[in-house]
Each structure stands twice: as C-alpha cells, then as structure tokens.
Structure 1
C-alpha cells in the first residue's frame, strides 16, 4: 500500500530541507551535476488526485523541470534556456512512498488500584521506622544509666506508640477505616 510525502530539496546542493510524510520518510538525495537531482526511497511521483507534481520556488519560475522514475530512482532535471542549471532556491516534490505498517493501538493500562491493605501496611511500616529511630538513642541512655527523667518519659511514649502501631491491624474497620495512634512530639 502506498501513501504520499512532500519532499523539499535545496536547489544549490540537492540536500533535503525536510520531508512531510504520511508513510515512510527514509528518503535520500544526491546532486550529481548541475540541474540534476536524484531522489531515492520513493515510489515515484504521487498520482493525481493525491499528488500535485512539483512546485518551484517563485525565484526559479523561469526554469523547466523534467521528472523520470526509473529503477527506484526519481531523477529530476532542471534547465533554463535549454541549459542544465541548479535551482536558485528549492523544489517541492509530491512523491509516493510505502505506507507505514499498521500498528496496534496500545491497550491502556487501568490506573493502579491501591489496595487498602497494602497502603495501611506501608503507613504502619513508615511510622514504625520513625519510632524505631526515636527509641534507639533513648534506650541507649536508659541502658547505661544516663537517661534524664525527660528521656525516660519520651522513651516510654515512643514505646507505647510502637505498641499502638502493632495493634492497628486488630481494629474493627481495618484496613478501610483506621484510627491512627498519635506519635509523640
């Protein structure tokens, strides 16, 4: 199956300016001599009504153009007053190209459903980590008999918080409804 593309070629060098394609866009050019442009990767000119042939920049309006498609090469010859001449500006060719292979539309993935049990366990783990971090230095101070009364009270509050976290799964509405314990300050 074929479709069409518009190829813009720079007159002075034969280089591609750009390609606008409804299919493949692997088109290359060469400029073997004055007024000669070779285009590879097309299937020739796009036939009417899809194609309009070619369009010269108005600077090159006095030039004549001949186009031949042979052996997979689109040959464009430009002349002025019967002599080969490079285009001063550019030419746009409306060519036929292979269609892109059909691609399956990706099946949209449904948004992740957050499992309430997973969310609750992740929050318990997060809060437990905070509590463990707070307990460790306080417990060290108690263990070496260097804890202040405030540190002993803080240690007890953090340990009560950890116990409350461990009991969250025992709540009646768990995991949909949770009465979260309040962390010590």
Structure 2
C-alpha cells in the first residue's frame, strides 16, 4: 500500500488531478448535494503517511465526514448541519495499491562495443610488445630473433587494424593469432 493526493472539483465531484506514489486510477463523481464518491482508493492514508484532507479556503466552515465502504470512499459535506456542495475543491490523502515491481529488462549486449574493446585490448598488448623491440632496432642493437618478433607483432597489429574491414564485421570475425 502507498499513498496519493487527489483534488476533487467541488461543483462537479470530478477528479481534478492525482499525485501518486502508486496507482492513480482514481475516479470520482458527485452523488448528490454534498455527497461525493471516490473509486480506486483503499481508503484514507493513515498517519504518519496520511494527513487526512484539506479544503480550499473558499469552503471554510464546512464539515467533512469521510468513510470507506470498500470499494468506495464516501464523502459528505455539510454547512451548519445542512448538506452543501463544495464551492471550490477538496484535497484527500488516500491509500492506493502499490505499483507492481516490474523486473528490469535484461541488458542487450552491444556486440560492436564489445568487439571494439577487444580490438583495443589486443592493440594495447601489441603496442607494449613492439615498443622495446622497435627501440632495439632503432639503436641497431636488435638481434635477428628480436627483429623477427618485431615483424610478427607489427603484422599482428596491422591485422587487428583491418578487422573492421572484414565482411561480417562485427558479427563474424577471423581474429588474428597473437605472436608467441
């Protein structure tokens, strides 16, 4: 159970608006002089959540009686003991059914983002392997084996950069094998 504040139009008995933390399928009508009927509530919201009702200052001096006869909230208004319509409005703090908790939809995996993250991760690995090998080559200090490793890592990095050009990207990829 949760609460809602509803504003009723005094002359017609219709709902002006509803502010609700739960369901707000509330309807109302004027049943007769000074008699209003509200459907869609569970009665008045009890303290401390509820504060009862408030009448518009134009209706000062009226007496309001409220009772809940499920499923109807019956409101009787009188002035000096005589049934009387509200001139302006009445705000009620009522109880309503809580909104059902709906499970959040399962997130849809973003294949493109996942593939791009994978490419970036592999690219970072290649860059890390290439840097010291390239330094050795630039300083003419690379062994034949280091030069072979450098070429293999650079081929791998080129292949990674070409993955988006493959047919079927990103759904169907032929990932290059990282050098050993």
Q: Same fold (TM over 0.5)?
A: yes
Q: In the TM superposition, what is the alpha-carbon distance from 1:58 to its structure 2 partner?
A: 1.0
2:175 counterpart residue number = none
Unaligned runs of 5+ in 2: 117-154, 166-180
| Matches of 1:55 and 1:39, distance apart in 2 | 16
Show the 5 A alignment for 1:20-59: 20-59=19-58
Q: 1:112 to 1:61 in 2, by over 3 A?
A: farther
Show the 5 A alignment for 1:1-185: 2-113=1-112, 173-174=158-159, 176-177=161-162
After superposition, the C-alpha distances for 1:43-75 in whole angstroms (9 at most, x for unaligned) are: 100000000000101111111100011131100
| Matches of 1:84 and 1:75, distance apart in 2 | 14
Larger radius of gyration: 1
After superposition, the C-alpha distances for 1:90-134 in whole angstroms (9 at most, x for unaligned) are: 001000111111111234334442557xxxxxxxxxxxxxxxxxx
Q: In the TM superposition, what is the alpha-carbon distance from 1:177 to its structure 2 partner?
A: 3.9
| Matches of 1:27 and 1:54, distance apart in 2 | 16
| Matches of 1:100 and 1:56, distance apart in 2 | 28
Unaligned runs of 5+ in 1: 117-170, 181-185
| Matches of 1:59 and 1:112, distance apart in 2 | 63
SS of the aligned residue for 1:113 comes to: helix
| Matches of 1:53 and 1:89, distance apart in 2 | 18
| Matches of 1:70 and 1:88, distance apart in 2 | 25
* TM-score, scaled relative to structure 2: 0.62
* TM-score, scaled relative to structure 1: 0.61
How many residues align structurally? 124
| Matches of 1:83 and 1:110, distance apart in 2 | 67
| Matches of 1:71 and 1:25, distance apart in 2 | 17
